[in-house]
A and B are shown apart, each in its own frame.
Chain A
C-alpha cells in the first residue's frame, strides 16, 4: 500500500481575532447595496423632515395690529433663556453688607379663563410661585446674576439664585399674625440667606456663590408673580395649556440695610416690563412707600424661561430614521436566516457569541456614524433656519447640544442592536421588525401624541425602550417653575442618560437572549 502524505497548505495563516470578524461583518454590510442605500435613507429622512419642519416654522411678534421685532429673550448667567421680570425697589451696595426685611402679607389677583366671552374673569388670590422678598442683583439688567430670599405663594420660604437654583426654607405662607423676617448678607461673592419668625432667632436657609459679582450691586425689595397655568382638554384630543395674568402685592417693613449703601431715596424699577402700542406699560408693577412700609406689587417671574423652541425639535425626523434603522438592523441578520447563509457565517466563525458580538458592533457603529451625521446636520441646519424664520430658540450650552446630537446617534445605535437581537430571536424579518417597532416607536408615539393621560405617557417613557428618546431633551424641567412638563412638550420623565440607560438595558437583555438562543439552537 502506498503511503499518503497528508496535504499541507503553504497558505500563510491570517490573523485570528475579533477584528477579523468585525471586518468580515462590515464587508458583508457594505457589499449589499440595498443596505447602504437604506442607511443613507435613514440619514436623509431625518435631515429632510427636520429641514421641512424648520422651513415651515415661522414666528413673528406684534403689538396689536402692528408687527414688531420680537423682544430678545434674556439669558441667565448659565447661558439658559430666562424670565426676568419683577418690581424692584433698590439701592446700590458696594462691598459687603446685608438687607433685612419683614414680609407681612401677600395678596394678589389671578385672571381665570373667561366665563363670559370678552369679560375678564379676575379673582383674588396668590399663585403658588408668586414671590416677594429681598434681592441682591448684579444690576437691573435682565438676566444678570442675583440671589434672593423670598416668601412664595404656597412653597414657603425659598432661597433662589441665578434663575436655576432653588433651596427650600421653612414652609407655610405669611399673614399679619405670622410674618416672616428675611435677611440676605453679602460677603465677597458669597450670599447667605436667613429667615426668622421673630427677627431675633435666625435660621440659615442657604448660600449662593455668584462668581464674578462686581463690587457694587443693587440691593432691595422685590415682588413678582408668574402666569397662572391652566391645562385643559382640547376638543379634538390633546391638551391646551394657557398661562394668564396674575400679580402679587407684598407688604414689607422693618427694612434694614447694612454696609456701604447709597444714600437718598430708593430707586424703583419695573424690570422687564413691556409697553403696549400706546407706550403705556403692560401690566405694570409698583410700590407704595409710607413710613418705612413698602407695598410692592409685581408681575412676572425670575426663573428659567420655557418660551421658545428647544433645539431637539429639529430632530423630529429621527423617528422615521429610527424605523428605517430598525428594518436595516433586522435584515442584517434575518437575511442570513432566510438564505441559509447563517450556516456559512457560523462555519467561518464557530464562536457564536463572538459572531453575534461582531455583528452587533458593526450595526451599532454603522448606525452611530449615520445617526451622528444626520443629527449634526439636522440640528445645525435646522436651528439656523428656525432662527432665520424668527423663531425664538431656547439656548443651550455647546456641551448640551453635543449631548443631544451624539445621544441621538447613540440611541439609534442601541435601538439597532436591540432590533438585531430580536432578528436573532425571531429569525424572521416581519416578526422582528414589528416587535421592535411596537416596543420602541409605538410607546413614543402614544406618549407624545396625547392619546394617553399624562401619567400613562410618562410611565411608557420610563418603562419601555422608548425611554432613550430622553437623551434629546436639551432644556431641563425645573421644580420651581410651574409648567406643563409633558412628553408631548418635549419633557421626559427620566433624565437624558437615565433614559438612554433604560434602552441600553433592553438592548443588553435582548442581546443576551439572542446569544443564549443562538448557542442552544441548531443552525
Chain B
C-alpha cells in the first residue's frame, strides 16, 4: 500500500453550518504534514471522514488509494490518535492496547513492544483513569503504532503536554517520518509544529487556505522586510526612498524597510555615510505566517457567529 492520504473535495454540513467546504489535500510519505487551522476549521471532522467515522456529503478521502472502511487490518495501514481521553478508566493501559491488538489479530508481544517504544512500562499495568494527560497521549500514540502502519494521523497530540513532552513528541514524529511514513499532525497552534512539519496544510472555514512547504510559507510571510536601527533617521529614509524602498518609522530609532535587500541597504548607507547600528533581515516566525493566513478566516467566522446570534 502506498503511504498517502488523499482528500478531495470533501463537503459536510452540520445543520446550518458547513463543517467541510471543499477540503482537498494530499499527505505524502517521508515528512510530517502539519494540519493547522483555528478551532472549528474542520480538522477533526476531516480526520473522522478519512477514518470512515463520519460520512461526507461529497468528496472522497482515500488512504493509500483506498477508502479506510475497505481496509483489512486497518491498524496495519493507518494509525490514528483522535482523542487521548477516549479510554475506559477502569481498564489498564496495557489491556486497552491488548484488545486493540486482538482486533487486528496481533499478539500481546506486539503490545509490549509499543509499550516499551513509548516508555509506558511503569504505567501500563495501572488503570488508565489515573493517567496524566501526557501519559494518555503516549498511550494513544502507542495504540496508533500498534499495527506499525505506514500512515499516521494524530489530532492535537501536543495538547496538555509539558514542554519536555512537546520536544519529545516532535522528535518522535520526525523520526517516524524519516522512516518513510506519512504523518499528518493537526494543531491549532502553528508554533507547536515549528521544526517538525515539512509541509503545512492551513485550513479555515472547512477548506484549505494554503498547502505549502514550511520554507515557502515563511518566505512569503517575511515579505523581504528589513529592520534598520539608526540615530540618523531622516537621512536614512531619504537615501533609501531615493533608491525605491518603502520605509516606515516604527520607533524613535528604528525603521522598517521593504523593497530592498539587506546587503543593498548596507551598501547605500555606507556610501552616503549614514550611521547605523543594526541591519536585520526580518524572518517571520511560522506563527506570524499562520496568523497572516488565517486572520481572514477567523474574522469571517466571528462575524458569521455574531450574525447567527442575532
Contacts and interface: CB of A to CB of B under 8 A. Distances in A.
B179 to A, nearest CB: 5
Nearest to B153: A347
A9 interface: yes
A11 B110 contact: yes
Q: Across chains A and B, which 6 residue pairs bring their CB atoms closest together, nearest first? A: A14-B105, A4-B30, A24-B103, A31-B95, A7-B180, A340-B86
Interface string A60-84: 0000000000000000000000000
Interface stretch (B50-58, B200-208, B277-285, B297-305): B50-58
A25 B181 CA distance: 30
B83 A340 contact: yes
Given A6-B29, A7-B179, A347-B51, A27 B69 contact: no
A32 B103 contact: no
B102 A23 contact: yes
Given A7-B3, A349-B103, A343 B53 contact: yes
A7 B181 contact: yes
A4 B150 CA distance: 13
Contacts of A336: 88
B29 A27 contact: no
A522 interface: yes
Given A27-B95, A31-B98, A4 B105 contact: no
B86 A20 contact: no
B106 A9 contact: no
Interface of B: 2-3, 28-31, 48, 51-55, 68-69, 71-76, 80, 82-83, 85-92, 95-96, 98-100, 102-107, 110, 143, 147-150, 179-182
Contacts, number: 133
Contacts of A349: 74, 103
19 contacts: A5-B30, A6-B2, A6-B29, A6-B30, A7-B150, A7-B179, A8-B150, A9-B150, A20-B104, A20-B105, A23-B103, A25-B99, A27-B98, A31-B99, A32-B88, A32-B90, A339-B87, A346-B53, A348-B74
B85 A351 contact: no
B102 A24 contact: yes
Interface string A10-34: 1101111100110111011001111
Given A6-B29, A6-B150, A347-B75, A341 B87 contact: yes
Contacts of B74: 347-350
A427 to B, nearest CB: 14
Contacts of B53: 343, 346-347, 522-523
Contacts of B182: 6
B28 to A, nearest CB: 7
Contacts of B28: 4
B229 to A, nearest CB: 39
Contacts of A437: none
A255 interface: no
Contacts of B69: 350-351
A346 B86 CA distance: 12
